[in-house]
Chains A and B, each alone.
Chain A
């Protein structure tokens, strides 16, 4: 059984320096594309992270239903739970329409599938999974709202049009990532 300090460290690491969105890049594309005004993103973000949370719990339970001998079925399990997540997101946040000729929901595949893969590779027990999962979604939610505010600021700024692109947004995320790494050093 892990001590409280170990759990706290796991929580902090999973929220900051080992967060699924910052350290593993899962969902950064979704956030950059779907970020809107801050109030809209705050609501959309809640729906997005709660879907990820539920799908991660579902994936973990289904993964633990079978013995380790059947671990080769994990991709199929995570695929099915990802599709459930996609259906929820399509209904809940209106992830309909096209994005560069592809269905718009395709940008949500990465965070849904990848976060389950991350949790599985960590080999956590129930308490560990809930800690990591909660930290992942909290960190991702804050990042989503931050990306929305930066995107809004970029669009309304007086900068040259060349800087009003995703390059500035990715650079801003890089600065946030540097801040998180420095927090880890402390």
Chain B
């Protein structure tokens, strides 16, 4: 399952924790997405100017990531008190999210593609969960108040379901899907022979 994945599919896996937990509504998704991108940039910058033994380097970077997530958490609550309602513990958990460390890993050349895809995915999932779970977006009530179309989407089973549907859509929209399918079928035929 891990083979031949596109950047978007990797983003869905590496950023699974904030995608599931930090997208209850659009504002929360935006706060977490912006924080994650800024943290990734800081970690990439420090990683580029820092040499150490491989494991030791990673432990230090993870320590930095956890410290940054706390700094972002406290800063957002203190600088923008009105946003406190939209800040949850998944902001603190950004420091243990693999996607934040992409810039320090072996996929540095695609760093900005990862960040762009993650940002778009967070906004998309956040908006979708708010529309389906609360029946509203940007403060505009789309359905009768108290009657959301799919209320369960706000809860954790809905988070799994929405992310799985988006993952499936990404899979279906892959341009090289047809070639992959053909290759898989050919391999299967060869094995049968």
Contact = CB atoms under 8 A, between A and B. Distances in A.
A121 interface: yes
Interface string B94-116: 01111001101111000000000
Contacts of A98: 106
Size bin of chain B's contact surface: 35 or more
A110 B66 contact: no
Contacts of B62: 79, 82-83, 106, 109
Contacts of A180: 157
Given A100-B107, A102-B106, A113-B66, A171 B184 contact: no
A167 interface: yes
A106 B165 CA distance: 26
Contacts of A107: 98
Given A26-B17, A75-B70, A102-B101, A181 B157 contact: yes
Given A102-B101, A161-B181, A178-B157, A110 B164 contact: no
Chief secondary structure at chain A's binding surface: helix
Interface string B46-71: 00000000110011001100110010
A165 B59 contact: no
Chief secondary structure at chain B's binding surface: helix
Nearest to B158: A174
A117 interface: yes
Nearest to B73: A75
Interface residues of A, number: 51
Contacts of B152: 178, 181
B109 to A, nearest CB: 10
A170 interface: yes
Highest count of chain B CB atoms <10 Å: which of A23, A24, A109: A109
Given A98-B106, A102-B105, A171-B160, A165 B17 contact: no
A73 to B, nearest CB: 11
B92 interface: yes
Contacts of B163: 170
A167 B177 CA distance: 15
A151 B21 contact: no
Contacts of B165: 167, 171
A171 B89 CA distance: 24
Contact of A151 (B1, B97, B105, B180): B1
B34 interface: no
Interface string A163-186: 111111111011101101100000
A177 B152 CA distance: 11
A98 B98 CA distance: 12
List the 3 closest A-B pairs by CB distance, nearest first: A101-B106, A174-B160, A167-B167
11 contacts: A78-B66, A99-B2, A102-B101, A102-B105, A109-B62, A110-B17, A110-B97, A113-B93, A151-B1, A171-B168, A175-B157
Interface of B: 1-2, 5, 9-10, 12-14, 16-17, 20-21, 54-55, 58-59, 62-63, 66-67, 70, 89, 92-93, 95-98, 101-102, 104-107, 152, 155-161, 163-165, 167-168, 170-172, 177, 180-181, 184
Given A25-B21, A98-B106, 14 more contacts: A23-B156, A25-B17, A25-B20, A28-B20, A29-B17, A79-B66, A99-B2, A101-B102, A107-B98, A165-B1, A166-B1, A168-B164, A169-B164, A174-B161
